[in-house]
Structure 1
Amino acid sequence: MFKRNAILRPLPIRAFLPIAALAIGVATASPSQAAGTVVNASLWDKGVETAMATDLGFPAAGKDMSKVTMGIALSVETVKAGEITFEVLNSSKDTIHEMIITRLRDLSRLFPYNSSESRVDEDKMPDILGEVSELDPNKTAALRLDLKPGTYLLFCNIPGHFTSGMWTIFTVK
């Protein structure tokens, strides 16, 4: 209890240092500080002035993948099974991208593609495990998944992006 008419003095700044240090630590904590493996993913494109390719969706057999106009670059392509955090950066200057991850059971299987919408029909994809959706240019997001051994496909399903080559294969051992 305070005494009536008591003079209240501010605490010295050093009294707040432990609290400030804790607050700064919490504010700067990132998913990469979590247990498990971290995979950096960059969603890129050649810019809106570049005409989009139209026939470079998965699978790539017989396609000239040197013509891709968009893509997903990963810091590593193979990791051990377990908790994996994808730290995703949309490195585009002006285009929204997303990253969806699905398990591939057949590397030659065509995805259910809706030509009128220029995108994969996600409702017909039984193995979608998660996504970072509609990420604005120069923004980041994280996706944490517990993945079992297998082959996975990461792709962007913004209209036209999948067939522009915006996909990559990822392996978990």
Structure 2
Amino acid sequence: MQFYPLALEGITLVEGPVRADPRGAFMETWRADYFENAGLPNSWVQDNLSVSVHPYTIRGLHWQTPPFAQAKLVRVLVGEIVDVVVDLRPSSQTFGRSISVPLSATKNQSLLVPAGFAHGFCTLVPNTMVAYKTGARYAPECERGLRWDCPDVAIDWPLNGNEPILSEKDASAQVLKDLSEADLF
């Protein structure tokens, strides 16, 4: 496995080899020893699966506060997404900045998102399936959300002129400037 640090400290693109033959392909998607040797989070407590029927579905931007802050390891099983992370660490030089990372089921890639970041994605094709591991269990009392169209962050979502499909919770999430210190890291 190869680990590629991205523009926000801690965000890492993980890429593994694909072993193809006439039957199809085999790939390792995660191995604790590889992550440990790279100094990356390698303790996962929950697996989640998200299925989005329509393209331009935006899920997020979500995170959990301590004591249930979550690292995530995100992978696309079917379809394509643009994955987005926002730095929510006030002491970071990149606080409030975001990056977007295209992920596809056709590549053996995952995105490692440590605790301290809001996370979300936009589906690009119908019937997209996204799986992700989390480093802490789901704790609704610690769950927080940042509006997908927060003017303080100005994410360039790949909507191509389409209206996004959002949950009520995501549509009414807070903007960055209105988050309290307790909501951040």
TM-score in terms of structure 2 length: 0.25
Higher Cα Rg, which structure: 1
Please identify which structure carries the higher helix content.
Answer: 1
